[in-house]
């Protein structure tokens, strides 16, 4: 039986293969609750899975994207991301270990993401990056949504020759204050502070004399540091991390000033009585006659010979 043209067309036509899924097809929109997990991501092929920070699930992208800059080696790196589509930025800091500082760094925006801020903080020890998702044109006309933001922070660290440990900084500040009050015997107390607060010397029945504030985070600023009541008050500000620090108070007992023993000056020697020209010699009947040398030795005197031995001494 001869094949009809329709039969020929049908016989030569194979069913179209289903389109292959890509790594970025993992999961769905955040709003529909279809979250991408690691198993689904890896099942899509040569893909790599990244966990969201503080969110369930993660995102999936091709491995070759990670290998484009394979020749560029970094000492440390961190990838951050968020499923938010509300055009809100995400930020993160990565730091060198104590005693090291950043030699070189890079903030690299991920897919459909723009780098909105990049800076080195904490005297060259921290890298701060901020990323924002690009506008998503696939959303409805009355809804303004952005792509979920993602980015990677890279740093290389070297030894910092000027590094001073927090412990040494605190000890140096204490010594500086104690040297201001050499006649006082004080006691140091400290209190961990979140945002603001003070260390009260009243807890040890003493009075505040001086103090200082110390931050435990590189991004934290000290906005107030002063005596308040019977303690040392600190107010910390931080736009990135929780504003934490410590308050140190130098407490002394009331009237604790060490009395200073007055120095008694040595008495000045009494001046010898002034000599009188008439003191030359003695009574005439004693035989101790006045001689010229003795007379002139008594000061501004004049010697006059008299009849007989000796002479007379009188003021000149």
78 shares its domain with 67: no
For residue 244, is it within any domain?
Answer: yes
What is d(CA 57, CA 129) in angstroms, rounded to the nearest whole number? 23
Model confidence, pTM: 0.48
Q: Model confidence over 230-270: pLDDT tens digits?
A: 999 999 998 877 899 999 999 999 765 544 445 566 777 77
> Which residue pairs, CB below 8 angstroms and at least 24 apart, start in 100-103?
100/125, 100/157, 100/158, 100/159, 100/160, 100/163, 101/125, 101/157, 101/158, 101/159, 101/160, 101/163, 102/126, 102/127, 102/155, 102/156, 102/157, 103/156, 103/157, 103/158
66 shares its domain with 79: no
Q: Give the domain-ending residue among 10, 45, 71.
A: 71
Domain count for the chain, please give it: 4
For residue 292, is it within any domain?
Answer: yes
129 shares its domain with 84: yes
Q: Model confidence over 268-307: pLDDT tens digits?
A: 777 666 667 888 877 766 667 788 888 888 888 888 887 6
36 shares its domain with 80: no
186 shares its domain with 208: yes
264 vs 170, residue with greater confidence: 170
Q: Does the pLDDT value for residue 86 go beyond 60?
A: yes
For residue 268, is it within any domain?
Answer: no
105 shares its domain with 138: yes
Neighbour-count burial for 37-74, b at 16+ CB within 10 Å, e otherwise: ebebbeebeebbbbebeeeebbbbbeeeeeeeeeeeee
Q: Model confidence over 183-231: pLDDT tens digits?
A: 999 999 999 999 999 999 998 899 999 999 999 777 789 999 999 999 9
183 shares its domain with 238: yes
45 shares its domain with 91: no
243 shares its domain with 309: no
218 shares its domain with 290: no
154 shares its domain with 92: yes
The residue range of the domain holding 25 is 21-71
65 shares its domain with 77: no
Q: Would you tell me how many other CB atoms lie within 10 Å of the CB of residue 176?
A: 11
Q: What pLDDT does 110 receive? A: 96
For residue 227, is it within any domain?
Answer: yes
Q: What pLDDT does 173 receive? A: 96
For 63, phi then psi, to 5°, come to -65, -35
Q: Give the domain-ending residue among 162, 181, 207.
A: 162
Q: What pLDDT does 70 receive? A: 53
With beta carbons less than 8 A apart as the criterion, state whether 90 and 79 touch: no
Q: Model confidence over 115-165: pLDDT tens digits?
A: 999 999 888 889 999 999 999 988 766 777 999 999 999 999 999 998 889
Q: Supply the mean pLDDT for the chain.
A: 83
Q: Model confidence over 25-48: pLDDT tens digits?
A: 888 765 566 788 888 898 988 888
């Amino acid at each position: 039986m001869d094949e009809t043209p329709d039969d020929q067309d049908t016989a030569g036509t194979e069913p179209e293969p289903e389109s292959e899924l890509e790594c970025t097809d993992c999961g769905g929109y955040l709003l529909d609750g279809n979250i991408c997990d690691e198993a689904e991501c890896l099942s899509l092929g040569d893909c790599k899975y990244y966990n969201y920070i503080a969110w369930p699930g993660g995102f999936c992208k091709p491995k070759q994207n990670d290998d484009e800059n394979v020749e560029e080696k970094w000492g440390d790196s961190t990838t951050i991301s968020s499923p938010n589509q509300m055009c809100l930025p995400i930020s993160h800091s990565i730091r060198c270990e104590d005693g090291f500082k950043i030699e070189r760094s890079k903030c690299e925006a991920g897919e459909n993401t723009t780098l909105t801020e990049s800076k080195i903080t904490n005297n060259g020890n921290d890298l701060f990056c901020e990323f924002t998702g690009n506008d998503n044109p696939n959303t409805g006309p009355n809804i303004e949504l952005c792509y979920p933001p993602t980015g990677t922070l890279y740093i290389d660290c070297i030894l910092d020759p000027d590094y001073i440990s927090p412990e040494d900084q605190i000890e140096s500040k204490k010594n500086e204050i104690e040297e201001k009050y050499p006649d006082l015997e004080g006691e140091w107390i400290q209190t961990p502070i979140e945002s603001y607060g003070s260390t009260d010397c009243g807890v040890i029945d003493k009075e505040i004399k001086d103090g200082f504030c110390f931050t435990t985070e590189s991004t934290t600023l000290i906005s107030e540091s002063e005596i308040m009541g019977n303690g040392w008050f600190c107010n910390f500000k931080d736009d990135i991390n929780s504003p934490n620090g410590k308050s140190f108070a130098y407490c002394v007992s009331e009237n604790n000033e060490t009395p200073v023993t007055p120095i008694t000056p040595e008495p000045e020697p009494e001046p010898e009585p002034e000599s009188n020209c008439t003191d030359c010699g003695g009574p005439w009947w004693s035989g101790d006659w006045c001689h010229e040398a003795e007379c002139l030795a008594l000061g501004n005197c004049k010697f006059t010979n008299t009849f007989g031995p000796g002479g007379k001494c009188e003021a000149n």
